[in-house]
Amino acid sequence: MSANPDMISPIKLHKELARLWDTPPGWGRFSAVNHTVLGKRFIIAAFVFFSIGGVLAMLIRAQLATSGSAFVGPEIYGQIFTMHGSIMMFLFAIPMFEGFAIYLLPKLLGARDMAFPRLTAFGFWCYIFGGSILIVAMLAGVAPDGGWFMYTPLNSGVYSPGINADVWLLGITFVEISALSAAVEIIVSVLKLRAPGMSIDRMPIMAWYLLITAFMMLFGFPPLILGSVLLELERAFDLPFFDPTRGGDSLLWQHLFWLFGHPEVYIIFLPAAGAISMMIPTFARHELVGYRTIIVAVIAVAFLSFGLWVHHMFTVGIPHLALSFFSAASGLVAIPTAIQIFAWIATIAHGRPRFDVPMLYLGGFFVVFIIGGLTGVMLAMVPFNFQAHDTHFVVAHMHYVLVGGFVFPMLAAAYYWLPHFTGRTSDHRLSVPAFWMIFGGFNLTFFLMHLTGLLGMPRRVETYPMEAKWDWLNLVSSIGGFIMAIGFALFVLDIVVQARFGMPARRNPWQARTLEWATATPPTSYGFASLPLIEDRADRLDPEKLGPALARGDGYLGFTRNGWMETLGVDMVTARPTEVVVLPRSTFLPLWTALAIGSFVLCLLFKFYWLSLLPVAVVVVLFLMWAAATGNREDTPPLDIGHGQSAEVHWQVERPPSWWAMTFTLAADGVVVTSLIFSALFLRVVAPDWPPATAAAAPTAALALAVIASIAAAAAGRFGVGRLKAGASPIAAQAACLLLHVVALAALAAGLAGIDDATRHAQAAMLAAVLGLAALHVAIGIIFAGFGLWRAANGYVSPRRSLDLRIGGLWHDATAVIVLVCVVSGVLLALAAGGEVW
């Protein structure tokens, strides 16, 4: 590597960078946007929720330990098992992996932070506030109690009139905001913010796993969010999407939920598999065998996992042929999983393995996860599933998969990366007994539970008769559960002791060969004082040599300028540096925005619907402030990046991270729209009571006007960008875009007003939902157009600084398509139901 031209001392460079990147002390901690800080906060918060979920699990085991137990009644028991499942899935597993990803990813990729640090912080606060709503509700005795998959009509207004189900729908959806923002951020960070030279074939395998997982989240979470919104609309405004007495269908909920719910299992497993693929090569002292094969396998898993969802619904009365598709796909997904497992075994066989604590926990992973996989294939077989479904066999299987596939790898990862987090080595005193208690306790709890299920014990019963002869099995499970709990307590104690009193570690204590070990340990806020040039696959590096060189400022960007926090953006495939990405400083905006959304959620929860418009307005203003905080009124000349190279600043290039973020956000948005339209089709085909006696009509003239206006708005937006690039003013075109959106909104409002009673039948409700979704897009289009107008009027744009308008343009284009699709579906929905079209 060439030397830094204006050679400054590493200490001085460190101080300059730290001054820019460090999170302020005191109250300033709430303004943190740094990935190292927030990654740790995510992990700690997720572990706190895990402990709460674990206590609930202990209550379940206490209740079921003997037959005829009267420890808690069915009302409380419903809350306990619902909260246990919901917490472990939504407040522990997903945020825990997000925390790991946020902490590790920039360090693995050789970047100084994630692509959108404020989004990281925003996601964190949404997670904390949403999670807190659930926990507070539980403490107040009004936790959700209808099961963690919230089946309707049990969780509809008629059968769950209380606030409990609303707490789930609103709180979990609030948390999902953080999952979606993490997905977008991970995708863009992996694709764009890598070290120069780290072409896509050189990425550390973890980056591949996280990239693919994030894409799954992008497509998996929208159906759940849509389902939750529809169910909340049903509960709040009586729109009968899931009500079988008015043309709705409870099966629609199941499809939407499991369309998310099954990919979710792999969304949880794949990041853990990524961590395994990082740890095994280190301890095998051999690079990962089958790097390319594993990538192919993971892509296959990612897709196949979207074709399994009905295996949660085998007994709902679907034709055998349809079940066979899902059964085959469910079995098929075992193949790419087996390929990964044998690639890890082959890595060990190739290497000179060395034993240490993380490997012990990975041994636990192998045993537990393989058993979970095998019972998974059993459950994929339709005839067997008909017997085992909804019994404790499924409970056992699911825990083998999730604890084996996520918890054991994460425990291994905790020991593996602990020296990185804390700068201290780990010793073995408590970690080994902790492992044996967790591993032994786990198998004691869940292994015989398969048999409990086969002996006929259904899930979610709060007691059982002595004649059923399930007593001894349940008692064994309960004893195992408490042993496992003690094991986890030992683990926590061990981690705390080591983090506090462990011996200081030298750099790279495991002799790993990946980039995260080239940072200081514990890492500095900026990660790398200068960014490396990667010339080999990123798991063949020498952190011991690389670390000091980068700290000296030998790499790219080994300096500060303009008080900017800089990292490099690269070409997605070749990793040639393309732009200098200027990242935002610490700010309270994410906190305020999440708080405003939190107040909106609380307004909905307590049914202050008119009042809820106030926080919505605040959210819009805050997001505008968020966008307004970046940008420049002058063109910036190409910037020196070191090594004699230069690059444009990111807001002056064609496709910077924010452009890609908008593109991927729109992809997730497209999934929402598609899911809604498929939902309408599903109701039309499957739901009882169709066509409705009186169908809602679609006013074609108004709707046609909406389509024309939004297509014209998109055209005006494009025209404005063209004008700007040609050196002319885009203001008139932007104003036209704004105006046309207003026209489209008015036309859609007229269409919505034409539905006299959306509560009468699901057809009317669906029509309202489809048109409402279109109107929502147009309304946001107004905000984008207005923002573009303001930016243009205040000199933030120029022929070279057209990004603001082009990002708005993406939205306008998407809105035109969505309005068209929604209107066509709305008209078809009216026609298919025999409604008038006028």
Site for other proteins in 377-406 (CB under 8 A): 377-378, 381-391
Which one of 42-50, 314-322, 615-623, 783-791 is the stretch in contact with other proteins (CB under 8 A)?
314-322
Residue among 733 and 762 whose Cβ is closer to other proteins: 762
Closest-CA residue to 460 (of 12, 4, 63, 47):
63
Query: Could you write out the DSSP letters of every residue in 653-671?
Result: SSS-HHHHHHHHHHHHHHH
Out of 140, 322, 496, 629, the only residue in the binding site for other proteins (CB under 8 A) is 322
**What is the rounded distance in angstroms from the CA atom of residue 437 to the CA atom of residue 657?**
46
User: What's the one-letter identity of residue 538?
Assistant: A
Out of 136, 316, 432, 837, the only residue in the binding site for other proteins (CB under 8 A) is 316
Residue among 346 and 611 whose Cβ is closer to other proteins: 346
In the complex, least distance from residue 201 CB atom to other proteins, rounded to whole angstroms: 4
Q: Does 324 bind other proteins (CB under 8 A)?
A: yes
Which one of 326-334, 411-419, 521-529, 782-790 is the stretch in contact with other proteins (CB under 8 A)?
326-334
Total of residues contacting other proteins (CB under 8 A) = 116
The residues in 669-688 that bind other proteins, with binding defined as CB under 8 A, are 678, 681-682, 685-688
Cβ count near 384 (within 10 Å): 16
Q: Does 455 bind other proteins (CB under 8 A)?
A: yes
Q: Does 718 bind other proteins (CB under 8 A)?
A: no
The residues in 160-199 that bind other proteins, with binding defined as CB under 8 A, are 199
Query: Could you write out the DSSP letters of every residue in 334-391?
Result: HHHHHHHHHHHHHHHHHS-----HHHHHHHHHHHHHHHHHHHHHHHHSHHHHHHHTTB
The residues in 757-796 that bind other proteins, with binding defined as CB under 8 A, are none
Closest-CA residue to 225 (of 257, 190, 251, 196):
257
3-state secondary structure of 3: coil
Which one of 104-112, 313-321, 485-493, 787-795 is the stretch in contact with other proteins (CB under 8 A)?
313-321
Q: Does 738 bind other proteins (CB under 8 A)?
A: no
**What is the rounded distance in angstroms from the CA atom of residue 163 to the CA atom of residue 146?**
12
Out of 26, 317, 563, 644, the only residue in the binding site for other proteins (CB under 8 A) is 317
Q: Does 68 bind other proteins (CB under 8 A)?
A: no
Which one of 30-38, 109-117, 122-130, 451-459 is the stretch in contact with other proteins (CB under 8 A)?
451-459
Out of 19, 24, 28, 315, the only residue in the binding site for other proteins (CB under 8 A) is 315
Question: Omega before 458 cis (within 30°)?
Answer: no
Out of 146, 281, 555, 598, the only residue in the binding site for other proteins (CB under 8 A) is 146
Residue among 296 and 629 whose Cβ is closer to other proteins: 296
Residue with tokens 């049903």: 234
3-state secondary structure of 60: helix
The residues in 225-264 that bind other proteins, with binding defined as CB under 8 A, are 244-245, 249-251
Q: Does 293 bind other proteins (CB under 8 A)?
A: yes
**Whether the Cβ atoms of residue 349 and residue 299 lie closer than 8 Å to each other:** no
What sign has the CA pseudo-torsion 828, 830, 836, 838?
negative
Q: Does 329 bind other proteins (CB under 8 A)?
A: yes
User: What's the one-letter identity of residue 476?
Assistant: V
DSSP code, position 569: E
Q: Does 69 bind other proteins (CB under 8 A)?
A: no
DSSP code, position 2: P
Sheet with 577-583: strands ordered across: 565-570, 577-583, 645-649, 639-642
**Whether the Cβ atoms of residue 54 and residue 488 lie closer than 8 Å to each other:** yes
Residue among 366 and 588 whose Cβ is closer to other proteins: 366
Residue with tokens 């796993």: 209
The residues in 535-594 that bind other proteins, with binding defined as CB under 8 A, are 571-576, 578
Residue among 367 and 497 whose Cβ is closer to other proteins: 367
Q: Does 300 bind other proteins (CB under 8 A)?
A: yes
For residue 801, which phi and psi values (nearest 5 degrees)?
Answer: -115, 65
Which one of 70-78, 264-272, 729-737, 777-785 is the stretch in contact with other proteins (CB under 8 A)?
70-78
Q: Does 834 bind other proteins (CB under 8 A)?
A: no
Q: Tokens at residue 806, please?
A: 């082009």
